[in-house]
Structure 1
């Protein structure tokens, strides 16, 4: 027991010291540009002879015009279908034979391709990625097969998943003025209308060196990486890029309500408020205060929503808060929950309980001990996550892709530490208001009325 208490005390001391740890000199990180506009960021991490290479393009579903939703995601699929010197799937087979991992992902703001492999094989990944950047083949026969795969992916992830379908529909109302209401995978009727010529035009427009960030993290040095990058990416000509504007929301003016009937077993509630991200905020401290507000409400077992609404009053079987601070445009602060059906709690009663917690924070700032716990938890999560070179690369790539500098990552702990309890209350009063609210009630589809006999029928 004594050893257990000693270990627990040591853990507490370590956690309290985490913000200070985050202020120490960071890992060696280098940044440079090629003449064609490609931005390159190299971070050294010499704990293992492994490297992650990621190529991020600043294009996602929020860039897509009406009628072409899902085109960024579709192009991501097609980028594995061959290039100048490699046939469909050959790059993946080669990387697999070397024991490397590879994949890609598309979001509202970016599309990224990555490989995790031995440091000695980095040149292979860079050569393949450079070739895909300037000479992807995009064959029509492969497209006709792959578009069917994408349709099935949409069916599995969204159309046949009632909760995903409901949330997709909810987002079309929550994002009143921005393209963030468009699904990343695209609307089915748009997927069905995409052509290979559409994808080829999208590729020529957005897959340019000046619209990309190459992030390399691992057991490498700038001296060995730069010549490889120059060799493979330097000859690619610079292209002309269309201007990009951040997706912005209306600052307020209307409370919106949407009731969505889908084939779910239990009703649920979503309250989303239009708020700025770090990319769009006038005052950066407001974003960090919103992050801490999310933590006060929903950072673990002892935070307010689970402790008060789930285990306390029992009004909810689940209650949570979420906030995406790092996006290209304005974003959402969301509270959601399931009413406790065993106690006959209604959606209106659950909403009243959520508003009660919001009002408490508006009227009384969290005490310093509560806020310190949340700050320590957020910093600790980031410190531990940085054990992964992939996590480090993801952070750098995401920040750079949405228009933020990767250097902000090393300032994050200090930015959180500077937020006061009153500032947490201030952002609640400013942003969690009905004028910014979209209320979503997701309810089960009513059962079909029973068939009745027609009077007079024989």
Structure 2
């Protein structure tokens, strides 16, 4: 029976390995600096067209936050050849779907079409890059949209202000200290000329990557890309120089208030390395070890066995310049936040002082394999991975090689990384509390 179980486990692992087939791609540059990546897969009549721009929430001046997120909305307004408000109608009426998202480091636009509408997708993205209409009416319209989004996601949403409170206390100088969505007063104060200047600086072909993935013919696709994107003029080279943060050498304590909650939360946060650093991959495994699933260490301890927490979670927020490692918990009943902090530190201390078991380590490796396979299980996922790996990691081939990074991580690496980044004197402890005007006023006077 034991040999049978071993054989079954081995077969499952081999199944993961063989299923994660290599993603073939072709990449090249246009004369204007636009990087192009093509992935051909003719197994289904679907194609994803996408453009990722190297511009995010951190690309701003003081007093002008939120521009990148604002443009995520604004660039759906219309172009010289796409009437105002017709973008989504054109996509849906041709059997497609589309979306966009912005982080602190990049902005990503994409369409998913039946493959016979590949040219439509390319034309629309070239229109967005070459012919957007940036006028006061559109700016005013999208300003209201962003304000409503902020109200829904942050101001009026339970725990909506938790991450911004962490950011503002974990960073003092770097733009990561401010929320990606920005501050409404900054957008209200911005002029139309400032918005146009922002577009001219960042939304240029030499600051972007175009990915086409799916049911395509390479030579036909290359010709269409040259026709639609080749005439777009390149922009000036972008120089970035963000202020550096001093290392955290003593525990920081902070308090934030939320009128939308009744149950407080505690967050332990650490400043960690950029996502291209191998240690960032190790931190992903540590997150999985602590809180991924009912058998994870912190979940089993705080939620299942000791019944001290309603929720507990750990995650590595990977970013281009600095990462952030966060562990949060919501207490049960009369459990104090100090108690939760002590219990969390006890488990993190074990990571610093002991090697995790071989059994737990193999579970982490299996989860990493599974996550890797799932991330590239669709054309949209493959397109996203190709764009991100080129633009932010400067290595398109990571789509095939990244799993080897995880496979080469050892138990000793986990202990080393925990010792390097997750020590008490390097952390922020944030108490996130229901808003009480008297308590808040007292805290603000200290």
TM-score, structure 1 as length reference? 0.90
CA contact (8 A) 1:43 1:216 kept: yes
State the shift of 1:23 in Å: 7.3
Hey, what's the Cα distance between the residues in 2 that align with 1:362 and 1:116? 45
- Is 1:324 the counterpart of 2:324? The answer is no
SS at match of 2:108: strand
State the shift of 1:195 in Å: 2.6
More moved, 397-406 vs 176-185: 397-406
Structure 2, unaligned stretches of length 5 or more? 440-446
Hey, what's the Cα distance between the residues in 1 that align with 2:392 and 2:375? 21
Pick one of 46, 49, 54 that aligns with 1:58. 54
Residue matched to 1:420: 410
1:279-318 to structure 2, matched below 5 A, reads 279=276, 281=277, 284=278, 286-318=279-311
Residue matched to 1:177: 173
Q: Deviations over 1:314-364 (max 9, x none)?
A: 222221110034x211111111111221xx210001000000001111111
State the shift of 1:247 in Å: 7.2
What is the CA RMSD across the aligned residues, in angstroms?
2.3
SS at match of 2:58: helix
1:29-428 to structure 2, matched below 5 A, reads 29-245=25-241, 249-263=245-259, 264-279=261-276, 281=277, 284=278, 286-325=279-318, 327-341=319-333, 344-428=334-418
State the shift of 1:90 in Å: 2.6
Structure 1, unaligned stretches of length 5 or more? 1-6, 450-458
Pick one of 419, 423, 426 that aligns with 1:433. 423
CA contact (8 A) 1:62 1:247 kept: no
Q: Deviations over 1:405-435 (max 9, x none)?
A: 1212211221111111111011111110133
CA contact (8 A) 2:376 2:385 kept: no
CA contact (8 A) 2:275 2:323 kept: no
Hey, what's the Cα distance between the residues in 2 that align with 1:59 and 1:98? 29
Hey, what's the Cα distance between the residues in 2 that align with 1:156 and 1:168? 15
Hey, what's the Cα distance between the residues in 2 that align with 1:428 and 1:188? 38
Report the CA distance shift for 1:195/1:9 in structure 2 as closer, same or farther (over 3 A): farther
State the shift of 1:20 in Å: 3.5
CA contact (8 A) 1:55 1:114 kept: yes
Hey, what's the Cα distance between the residues in 1 that align with 2:253 and 2:58? 23
Q: Deviations over 1:243-264 (max 9, x none)?
A: 1247754333232111112221
State the shift of 1:295 in Å: 1.4
Residue matched to 1:3: none
Q: Deviations over 1:111-133 (max 9, x none)?
A: 11111001111111111211221
SS at match of 1:306: helix
Hey, what's the Cα distance between the residues in 2 that align with 1:69 and 1:246? 14
Report the CA distance shift for 1:400/1:246 in structure 2 as closer, same or farther (over 3 A): farther
State the shift of 1:293 in Å: 1.3
Number of paired residues?
A: 437
Hey, what's the Cα distance between the residues in 2 that align with 1:348 and 1:125? 53
